[in-house]
Amino acid sequence: MTTATPLLELENVHKWYGQRHVLRGIDLRLHQGEVVCVIGPSGSGKSTLLRCINQLEKADAGTISLGGVDVMHEKRRGKLFERSGKDVAAFRQRIGMVFQHFNLFGHMSAVENVMFGPRQVNGVDKVVARARAMELLDMVGLAARASQLPTQLSGGEQQRVAIARCLAMEPEILMFDEATSALDPELVAEVINVMKELARAGTTMIAVTHEMGFARDAADAIVMMDAGLIIEEGPTAEVLNAPRHARTALFLGHVANRPDNRPDSRPANRPDV
């Protein structure tokens, strides 16, 4: 169930890279417990959108609010000022981000990678942090691999460690930026299955993805982006089965015809579309 008040709200968000207008007035709302999949062609601004939400990139105009609080600006004496680095860091901790590439610490074991944030950022006791890390690794099916270094893990296992690492910081929102795109096809299912379990557990999520099976099974809503704009959004079944915009229909047709998204060509361990 979603709440009436958005947990995350974007209003008229713009982002430029030099003369390139990457985000061109984005309005988006995400409610607690909601799963939203962002789809669209490469270069449409999907990853930039996530990076602006998580404050890894600074939006050039508009407002981003988390829990009703502007994460970009604060008002002092009737004037707006940019948030301090300390404020931005505090907001960023509330939004977990799983990237295309796993970015694990190569010299640390799986459990040490998951422990790192709570220990270094939040000052959690080592014993407590380790116990929680083991719980999370068990949740993603990797308790038996806790002592392994990243080089001893498959790509799918590394990405599951990365998800556990995000969850260890207890974020209010979990974001996935093409979390399966760097994986071999046979490893995608193990990451998708974890994402589905998180969705079923009520985790608030935004996922940039081309995995239409995941979107169909787990998303409450679909957002279609093209050329820095949201051109269509709505309930998952409506967008996937009866898109209103011709560009959405064209994109979905291309994605559905990719070899890894055709039901008759998917390995047995891949989720159905």
List pLDDT tens digits, range 43-81.
Answer: 999 999 999 999 999 999 999 999 999 999 888 888 888
Say which DSSP state 128 is in: H
Per-residue buried b or exposed e for 244-264, using 16+ beta carbons within 10 Å of the residue's own CB? eeebbeebbeebeeeebbeee
* Residue 208 within any structural domain of the chain: no
Please identify every stretch of the chain with a pLDDT value under 70, giving residue numbers as ranges: 1-3, 257-273
* Residue 181 within any structural domain of the chain: no
* Residue 156 within any structural domain of the chain: yes
* Residue 124 within any structural domain of the chain: yes
Say which DSSP state 199 is in: H
Per-residue buried b or exposed e for 175-199, using 16+ beta carbons within 10 Å of the residue's own CB? bbbbbbeebeeebbbbbbbbbbebb
Residues in CB range of 249: below 8 A, 6 or more apart: 243
Say which DSSP state 13 is in: E
pLDDT of amino acid 227 = 96
> Which strands make up the sheet holding 69-70, listed edge to edge?
20-30, 8-17, 61-66, 69-70
Angle, helices 155-168/126-139, rounded to nearest 10 degrees: 130
The domain tally of the chain equals: 1
pLDDT of amino acid 263 = 43
* Residue 201 within any structural domain of the chain: no
pLDDT of amino acid 258 = 59
179, 191 Cβ separation under 8 angstroms: yes
* Residue 134 within any structural domain of the chain: yes
Around 246, how many Cα atoms within 13 Å sit in the side-chain half-sphere? 0
Q: Which domain holds residue 154?
A: 104-170
User: How far apart are alpha carbons 271 and 273 in whole angstroms?
Assistant: 7
